[in-house]
């Protein structure tokens, strides 16, 4: 079953100590990219968090927003007097250099409070709280995964329909190719007969024309390979493991076979159908880019 790389989830839970919220946003990406925005005191847990996500998500750009509020500890502050004194001294020096008569007041210093006031409301996470946080993270991943599976189901239905139409067109092209053979044989017979009208026959050119004729008359090999690719595509979609990269590679092979049919056949009806196939390939490729 295929999954989309796009998804969203938000989980908010509380225990005795914490109010916890996590929001996940996932977009398309060539590989797995995890971007965390969370309180600094969780930085030491980032490696473990990344491992949790890697076991559940394989491709996509995932943004993780984590917010924690402590329900028990009251918010406290501490001053770094050394930094505050440095700021005061620098302001005094600036006042003298600019010949400002007004005195330096406390409100002037407080404008730089982010440099010397330290918030010490939460400095560490207990084992009990960390277990609670991980449960919330797993819940958020599962909720987002549910959305990715649902969107993947919609993509799968669309691809199944498009692949059926694609396969039917390939069958029509193969049939047209077979019907075209007698007419093409007659055309090449006339071309070769003209070559025999001359007294001298270029044997090398004759052999080249025969080989070219045989090659251009037969597109069945390409059609057979296309049907094989389409069958493999369907198997990849049903595979439980992530198949986005495999499907993307397979689309390149399908495109190559269609190009070969277009270059080999000069029959207008086949050329028109090849154009349609190329349009279908682009639509299918756009969907494949969304698959994990």
Distance in angstroms (rounded) separating the CA atoms of residues 162 and 239: 19
Q: Is 272 exposed, middle or buried (0-12, 13-18, 19+ CB in 10 A)?
A: exposed
Give the pair of three-digit tokens for residue 29: 């990406």
Q: Is 62 exposed, middle or buried (0-12, 13-18, 19+ CB in 10 A)?
A: buried
Residue 160 has pLDDT above 60, yes or no: yes
Each residue of 230-262: pLDDT tens digit?
A: 999 999 999 888 999 999 999 999 999 999 998
- Residue 202 is predicted with a pLDDT of 63
Complete DSSP assignment for 92-152: HHHHHHTT--SPP-HHHHHTTGGGTEEE-S-----HHHHHHHHHHHHHHHHHHHHHHHHHH
Q: What percent of the chain has pLDDT over 90?
A: 53
Whole-number Cα distances in Å, 106 to 78, 97, 101, 103: 16, 20, 16, 10
Averaged pLDDT of the chain: 85
Each residue of 49-108: pLDDT tens digit?
A: 999 999 999 999 999 999 998 876 555 556 678 888 888 898 888 888 888 888 888 888
Name the pTM for this structure.
0.70
- Residue 203 is predicted with a pLDDT of 61
Name which of 114-128, 236-250, 258-272 the model is least confident about.
114-128
């Amino acid at each position: 079953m295929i999954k989309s790389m796009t998804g969203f989830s938000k989980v908010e839970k509380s225990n005795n100590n914490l109010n916890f919220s996590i929001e996940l946003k996932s977009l398309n990406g060539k590989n797995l990219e995890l971007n965390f925005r969370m309180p600094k005191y969780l930085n030491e847990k980032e490696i473990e968090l990344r491992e949790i996500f890697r076991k559940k998500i394989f491709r996509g750009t995932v943004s993780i927003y984590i917010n924690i509020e402590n329900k028990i500890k009251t918010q406290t502050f501490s001053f770094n007097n050394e930094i505050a004194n440095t700021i005061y001294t620098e302001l005094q020096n600036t006042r003298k250099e600019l010949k400002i008569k007004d005195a330096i007041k406390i409100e002037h210093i407080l404008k730089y409070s982010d440099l010397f006031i330290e918030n010490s409301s939460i400095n560490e996470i207990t084992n009990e709280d960390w277990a609670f946080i991980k449960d919330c993270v797993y819940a958020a991943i599962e909720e987002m995964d549910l959305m990715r599976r649902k969107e993947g189901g919609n993509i799968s239905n669309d691809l199944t329909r498009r692949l059926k139409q694609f396969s039917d067109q390939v069958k029509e092209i193969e049939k047209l190719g077979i019907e075209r053979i007698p007419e093409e044989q007659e055309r090449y017979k006339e071309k070769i007969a003209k070559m025999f009208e001359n007294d001298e026959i270029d044997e090398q050119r004759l052999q080249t024309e025969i080989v070219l004729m045989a090659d251009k008359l037969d597109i069945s090999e390409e059609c057979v390979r296309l049907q094989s690719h389409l069958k493999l595509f369907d198997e990849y979609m049903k595979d439980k493991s992530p198949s986005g990269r495999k499907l993307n590679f397979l689309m390149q092979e399908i495109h190559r076979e269609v190009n070969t049919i277009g270059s080999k056949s000069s029959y207008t009806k086949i050329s028109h159908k090849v154009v349609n196939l190329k349009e279908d390939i682009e639509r299918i490729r756009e969907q494949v880019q969304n698959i994990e």
